[in-house]
Amino acid sequence: MYKVLIVEDDSKMRSLIGQYLAKWNFQPVLVEDFEHLDELMIKECPHMILLDINLPGNDGFYWCSKLRQLSDVPIIFISSRSQSMDIVIAMNMGGDDYIQKPFSLEVLVAKMNAVLRRSNSIQDLKKDLLTVDKLTLNLQNSFIEYRGKKASLTKNEFQILYLLMKKAGQIISRDEMMRALWEDEQFIDDNTLTVNVNRLRKKLEEIGIKDAIMTKKRQGYLLQ
C-alpha cells in the first residue's frame, strides 16, 4: 500500500482526496501543519506527495525545493493556477507532474499511478540487480547468473524474464507480455512470444534451472 502525503490547505478538498485515495488502496496522510513539512516527510516516509502551491506561510514551490534536498520521493502539484510559468516553475523545482484544479479524482489517481510506475522503474535500474531465489538478472548488461553460471539474454528474453521475476509467483498473461515487448515500431506477435519464451527456457536450463517457467493453459506464464 502506497502512503501519500496530501498537502492541501482546503480541509474539504483534503478530506475528499483522502477518502477517494483510501478506496484505491492508498494510505492517505492528511497534512494540517504546513510549517514543518520536511520533518513530517522524514517521519512518515511517504511514497508520494500531493502538494498545493498556495499554502499558508511558505508556498508549494518553496517546499518542493526543500523536500528535494532530502528525498527524491515523487511530488505531484495540485493547484488552481493555470499559467504556463507556474507549471514550468513546478517542474524546475523538482515536481514530477502537475494537475490543475478543478480536476477529476479518477484522473488524479491515473496520474499518480503513472508517476509511481516511472519512479519504481528508475529505482529498479538504480539497483542494477534483480534476484529471485538464487537466480540473478543484471539490469545493466542483460546477463543472468545462477550458482556461478552465466548466460546473456537478447532484448526480448530480458524483457520477458524481467517481467516474470518482478511478479514471481504470479501468472503473467500473454497479452501483458506482448504489451511489454511492443516497443516503437516493433510488433511482437503471439508466435514470436512463444519462440522467445522457449529460447529463454533453454538458456535457463543451460545454467542449471529446469522447468522455471510454467505454462498455465489459457492464462499465461508463471515463474516458479
Domain ranges of the chain: 2-125, 128-223
User: In whole angstroms, what is the distance from residue 77 CA to residue 213 CA?
Assistant: 42
Measured CA angle at 190 (ends 189, 192), to 5 deg: 65
- Pick the range with the lowest mean pLDDT from 73-77, 128-132, 171-175, 202-206: 128-132
Reported as a single tens digit per residue, the pLDDT across 114-127 is: 888 877 766 665 56
> DSSP alpha helices (H): ranges in 72-141?
84-92, 105-127
User: In whole angstroms, what is the distance from residue 65 CA to residue 177 CA?
Assistant: 39
pLDDT band at 185 (very low <50, low <70, confident <90, very high): very low
User: In whole angstroms, what is the distance from residue 74 CA to residue 112 CA?
Assistant: 9
- Homologous superfamily (CATH) of 2-125 is Response regulator (3.40.50.2300)
User: Domain spanning 128-223 has what CATH number?
Assistant: 1.10.10.10
Q: What is the mean pLDDT of residues 181-206?
A: 77
Closest Cα to residue 67, out of 98, 34, 99, 100? 34
Reported as a single tens digit per residue, the pLDDT across 96-105 is: 889 988 889 9
Q: What is the overall mean pLDDT for the chain?
A: 86
